[in-house]
A and B are shown apart, each in its own frame.
Chain A
Amino acid sequence: METVLLYLGYFFVSLGAAFLFLGAFGIFRMPDFYTRLQAGTKSSTLGAMSLILGVGLMQPEWFFKTLIIIIFIAISNPISSHALARGAYKTHQKPLTDTIDAYEEVAEENDNKKEE
């Protein structure tokens, strides 16, 4: 049982480290702010969750505390990226797009309201 948990932990830790790397690499490579946010949020969330879960499996007496941190990361990361995207749009950072930007009207409306 112990060794099974240990190897499972090794697997999750390697997976987590790989995804953390991919998230940072995505932030480095993507062309504009919103696509960077896409790569950064998703990969670093799953990467951190998986790495912490791996540590929790290798060290079973820490398991519940690591679970709390996993839940906190799963809740807080999407919220902070959502707040950042909204804040960035308000500073007139336009998304790079060829197809559609449905949010533009709403942002303009808000701007007009503020000026009044």
Chain B
Amino acid sequence: MENVSNISKLFYTWIILFIVWLAFTSTLAIEEVITGLIVSLIVALLSFRFFTGTGLGIFAPKKIFYLTQYFFVFIGALIKANFHVAKIVLSPSLPINPGIVEFETKLKSDFAKMVLANSITLTPGTFTVDIVENRFYIHWLEVEATDEESVYKEIAEGFEKILLKIYE
């Protein structure tokens, strides 16, 4: 994970930027494609050092499989979260019991932590207030447990198991 070569990073950035270009122009005319290849190469050369920490390794079939799995888990949690919030907002008594809890993560790379924090923000009743080193501080709408173990199990375990396989 730590030793990703610059070439790999450059190609990863180039591919991502080129896909974004294709989506923006929404055409496969040969002039557009060639211009896109050149422009995205120039931008990739300028920015690959800051853009990514992963490189081409992310396109391995196993990781693609886990990324897809993560995507579906995430969408499921997102939809559940919305019905959960809808239920609370629409009930006349407003059944909430808020509080800020904490837990410790096993993830090491900054990008993976960012993905985990964003996922937690979009899942039922929780959002990330701050990350200090590897401690997450989570605002929880209905606090069910205050000790770290059960908080971790309740909020983060499902996402982190998959993220550990992708990024570590």
Contact surface of A with B, Cβ cutoff 8 Å: 19, 22, 25-26, 29-32, 34-35, 37-39, 41-43, 45-46, 61-62, 64-65, 67-68, 74-75, 78-79, 81-82, 85-86, 89, 95-104, 106
Contacts and interface: CB of A to CB of B under 8 A. Distances in A.
Contact of A19 (B82, B94, B99, B101): B82
B55 interface: no
A45 B128 contact: no
B23 A97 contact: no
Interface residues of B, number: 37
B141 interface: yes
B118 interface: yes
A79 to B, nearest CB: 7
Main secondary structure of the interface of B (DSSP, over half): mixed
Interface stretch (B46-54, B58-66, B85-93, B160-168): B85-93
A64 B89 contact: no
A81 B23 contact: no
B98 A35 contact: yes
A79 B113 CA distance: 12
B66 to A, nearest CB: 19
Contacts of B118: 75, 78-79, 82
A102 B85 contact: no
Contacts of B130: 85-86, 89, 103, 106
Interface stretch (B6-14, B34-42, B119-127): B119-127
- Top 7 A-B residue pairs of the complex, sorted by shortest distance between their CB atoms: A78-B121, A102-B102, A99-B99, A64-B23, A26-B89, A78-B118, A97-B99
Nearest to A79: B118
Given A64-B22, A79-B118, A38 B141 contact: yes
A89 B132 CA distance: 14
B81 interface: yes
Given A38-B141, A78-B121, A22 B98 contact: no
